[in-house]
A and B are shown apart, each in its own frame.
Chain A
Amino acid sequence: MSTLTLSGINKRYDNGAHAVRGVDMEISDGELIVFVGPSGCGKSTLLRMVAGLENITEGEMKIDGVRINETSPADRDVAMVFQNYALYPHMTVFRNMAYGLSNRGMAASEIEAKVRETAAMLRIGDYLERKPAQLSGGQRQRVAMGRAIVRSPKLFLFDEPLSNLDAKLRVQMRIEIKRLQRELGVTSIYVTHDQTEAMTLADRLAVINEGKVEQMGSPMDLYSDPKTLFVASFIGSPHINLLPASFEAGQLQVGATALPGFEGLPEAVPLMLGIRPEHIAQHPEGGIEISVDLVEQLGADSLIYGAVSGFDSAEPEELCVRAGEALQLAPGERIKLNFEVDRAMVFRTDNGERLV
């Protein structure tokens, strides 16, 4: 039952790399926060700073209002689940889970009871006497979770815990993590580069890019109202369609096509028009024309990919459309499309700022 406050957190390495740049964040009790971003964006570094595995160059970190910058990792009362599980290979599952407890001076009988209870919750009760090498990937993952849970820490930290599992297990474990976190109500931070994982798990999402938090909010907020070009392009699957544009004579010029419905945009600045695939529909008088390259039938809907007319054929701009029902289109066919102007977004290309 804890809150975590980060204020002005910076991380500079000795070689001059500036991994985390001025992060401010308030995480409330019982929340599941996901740090998401491309690899090398500093999300893991930030998490490891919370754990105490990296020191803090600048800024202040507080758990329940108490400064923890100088507190040793073991005294911060946080538990971490590592990407490669990081189980102690020479200890049995039981000893793996008991290790942190016995080091905190808990009585043996109490340890026994806690470990058995946690193991039962994670359905690893039958494996307590095995060594990690004798377990499957999914079981090891559960043991790693169990080792964190059994300590009843103030904070759970997850560092890409599912990336070593196969796709099916990943979905299962994702649901399980969410369920456990709800049940236990422990404040958690989860780091991932997988935006689907991020969207499905998070209470709130922090999109991190080049060491900065680009935007923080609920998954749906970030999806429908991204503040920057980066957030718009990172969140959503399939990706948002981005078309280079410019604003001339009161109209948005996309390739050779002029699109009405936009006002007050700066001229002579490179812009980017962003439209989600589901906000585009076929329309006989649509302003955008594409020639179909590929249709992906997903069952409930289908994704139509095509090159937008009016762009140089040497650098074609691809557009993806989510069509509600299976359209029978042949490659090379030309269709006209319309999009919902009020849900379209316009960004400045140079600094990524959103204008509309």
Chain B
Amino acid sequence: MKRVQFERSTVPYFFVAPQIAIIAVFFLWPAGQAIYQSFLLEDAFGISSQFVWFRNYEDTILNYAWLQSAGFTVVFSSLVTFFSLAIALLLAVKANEVLHGSSSYKTMLMWAYAVAPPVAGLMGNLMFNPFIGDLYAAMNAMGWDFNQKLDAFDAGFVVILISVWKQVSVNFIFFLSGLQGIPKGVMEAATLDCRSPTKRFWTITFPLLAPTTFFLMVINITYAFFETFGIIDTTTRGAPGGATNTLVYKVYTDGFLGADLGGSSAQSVILMLMVLALTVFQFRFIERKVHY
């Protein structure tokens, strides 16, 4: 028997080393720490800690505040994702009918994306300020007894509105380029085959946009889960009564403001598992329906 021998070299390991180091330092180590911490209970001053097995998890899951936060996160993420995609798609379809490749104009539409979430939150805060906020005044003028500081629904409305506003622009750009990537001939053939523009949209345009939509859905869910932290922190801070507390924001308040590192870590681990499950679901079940 002759065995094929390849010369072993250490060079390839050097090439992957930076990437491995980054993953290790910024993901594996903190994730490991979070898992380890989630089994510990600290004293109020953070001096000693004690191993408590799954007590932190029990406390977390069975806690009303956590369930409320999880519920809000699901509703919030779904609504933000749905509306930022739907509004962007509607605008892109309308724009595509009149726009013919004026790229500088399109790039300018992207500006709202460059606004950092906390800045968007501050702007929203001003607009909904009870004393000088125009939107606050407008809502009340329309007969809606609007007050985001007291009413959970109104508070949710404010954070969703700001989160959607910030995300619509980037979704719009992606949808628009997706629409412009559909071969003109295909749309023309559809014009000859189908009288109704609405039916044409759902049978031809929308399926051909599916890869874009799927990509944006993944991006937007991630955005709604994590990046909206800045918006919540600069507007409602989870108020009133934890009604706008997303899971990520709760991790922060419990861990860094409440000094409950163990409980906060347990919540992070659960959040990590939720995102993992969501990602698997997206790629297993939704991507299968996507035609590239």
**Contact residues of A with B, CB < 8 Å?**
51-53, 72-75, 78-80, 82-90, 99-100, 103, 131, 147
Contacts and interface: CB of A to CB of B under 8 A. Distances in A.
Interface in B190-220: 190-196, 199, 203-204, 207-208, 210
Interface stretch (B85-93, B180-188, B279-287): B180-188
B183 A84 contact: yes
A62 B175 CA distance: 39
A82 B199 contact: no
Contacts of A73: 191-192
Contacts of B194: 74, 99-100, 103
A278 to B, nearest CB: 40
A151 to B, nearest CB: 8
A103 B210 CA distance: 22
A136 B61 CA distance: 57
B204 A74 contact: no
Given A86-B188, A88-B190, A89-B291, A72 B195 contact: yes
B16 interface: no
A51 B192 contact: yes
B189 interface: yes
Interface of B, secondary structure class, is: helix
Contact of B191 (A74, A89, A99): A74
Given A88-B204, A89-B291, A90-B291, A80 B186 contact: no
A82 B185 contact: yes
B188 A75 contact: no
A100 B204 CA distance: 12
B185 A103 contact: no
A87 B195 contact: no
B91 to A, nearest CB: 24
Contacts of A74: 191-195
A22 B183 CA distance: 31
Nearest to B187: A86
Contacts of B208: 89-90
A52 to B, nearest CB: 8
Instruction: Name the 9 nearest CB pairs between A and B, nearest first.
Output: A86-B185, A100-B193, A74-B195, A90-B291, A86-B189, A103-B194, A82-B185, A90-B207, A73-B191
A90 B194 CA distance: 16
22 contacts: A51-B192, A52-B191, A53-B188, A53-B192, A72-B195, A73-B192, A74-B194, A74-B195, A79-B192, A80-B188, A80-B189, A82-B189, A86-B183, A86-B186, A87-B189, A90-B207, A90-B208, A99-B193, A100-B193, A103-B195, A103-B199, A131-B291
A174 to B, nearest CB: 21
Contact of B186 (A52, A72, A88, A131): A88
A73 B189 CA distance: 10
Nearest to B186: A86
Contacts of B183: 84, 86
Chain A CB within 10 A, most for which of B192, B194, B291: B192
A88 to B, nearest CB: 6
Contacts of A86: 183, 185-186, 188-189
Contacts of B190: 88, 99
A51 B194 CA distance: 13
A143 to B, nearest CB: 11
B186 A103 contact: no
A48 to B, nearest CB: 8
Nearest to A84: B185
A73 B197 CA distance: 12
B182 to A, nearest CB: 9
Q: Name the residue among B183, B190, B193, B195 with the largest chain A CB count within 10 angstroms.
A: B193
Given A88-B186, A89-B291, A100 B207 contact: no
Nearest to A72: B195
Contacts of B210: 90
Contacts of A72: 195
Interface in B156-191: 183, 185-186, 188-191
Contact of B188 (A82, A89, A90, A147): A82
Contacts of A100: 192-194
Nearest to A95: B203
Given A99-B203, A103-B199, A88 B189 contact: yes
Interface string B133-177: 000000000000000000000000000000000000000000000
B191 A53 contact: yes
Given A86-B186, A88-B189, A90-B208, 14 more contacts: A51-B188, A51-B192, A52-B191, A52-B192, A73-B191, A73-B192, A74-B191, A74-B192, A75-B195, A82-B189, A90-B207, A103-B195, A103-B199, A131-B291
Nearest to B192: A73
